[in-house]
Amino acid sequence: MKAWSIAVLYSAVLLMLPLAGCASHKAEPPVAQPQAVATQPETPEPVTTPQEPAVSKPTDASPAPSEAAPAGKPATAPAPSGATQATKPATTPAPNGATPAPKAATKTAPPVARTPTPPVRPPTPAAPAVASTAAAPLDLTALKEKLKATKAIGVFTKISLKNQVDDLMKQFSDYYQGKAKTTTMPELRRSYDLLLMKVLSLLQDSDQKLASEVVSSREAIWALLSDPKKFATLQG
């Protein structure tokens, strides 16, 4: 009788072991997260609203036609107020700002002349650039801390990612110092995009909120990297 009961107990233990092993697999409760994702896409909306001041600011545009020639540099001009976001708006509002500009040009060009139209165009992208800096300020240190703290990425993966970030920073540094003659800015942009996609692919399933934060900071970080002066401050 004793031996029988012991045998039953042992068999029960043996049965429980695989059952307990099966019970260990559960990893998917980011239920509340989708709300955070839903809020992030709303952030671009404030970017559209600042376009209204762009209409009101053409008065500032008239004194600045001399600076209109370096079209890429209006983004650096407002740098003191919001250095991080400088180039981001320059790329995003371009389609919005570009479509109204030709309309204005076609309407005004026949009656007046061709000369006034060119100076009108450059200020319009510059104005939203200033306006949208307040929309989403980049907090690099906070983002870095969040990436360090997230449990969505394993320790080894984080170290590996850090290695790749350091490599990319070195590529930028070499590029700005003229050491890397074969590297081009589009190539650096591609490397940056690829690295960001790696981070996002690791985050998107387990930490959607942080993933969307990274996405929203994407252009702002690129603005820091693609400007030699801002990049120098990053490394300093």
Burial class (CB in 10 A: 0-12, 13-18, 19+), 124: buried
Angstrom distance (rounded) from CA 163 to CA 168: 9
Torsion of CA 168, 77, 141, 154, to 10 degrees: -30
Contact 122, 193 (CB under 8 A): no
Nearer to another protein by Cβ, of 35 and 160: the residue is 160
CB of 186 to another protein, least distance (A): 20
Provide, rounded to whole angstroms, the least separation between the CB of residue 187 and another protein: 17
Task: Dig out the tokens for 22 from the structure.
Answer: 């099966």
Give the footprint of another protein on this chain (CB under 8 A): 2, 5-6, 9-10, 12-13, 16-17, 20-21, 23-25, 27, 153-157, 159-161, 163-164, 198, 202
Q: Are 62 and 119 in contact (CB under 8 A)?
A: yes
Q: CB-wise, 23 or 69, nearer to another protein?
A: 23
Distance of CA 111 to the CA centre of its chain: 43
Q: CB of residue 108 vs another protein: minimum separation in angstroms? A: 54
Q: Closer to another protein at the Cβ: 112 or 159?
A: 159
Least distance CB 217 / another protein (angstroms): 20
Cβ proximity to another protein: between 6 and 112 the closer is 6
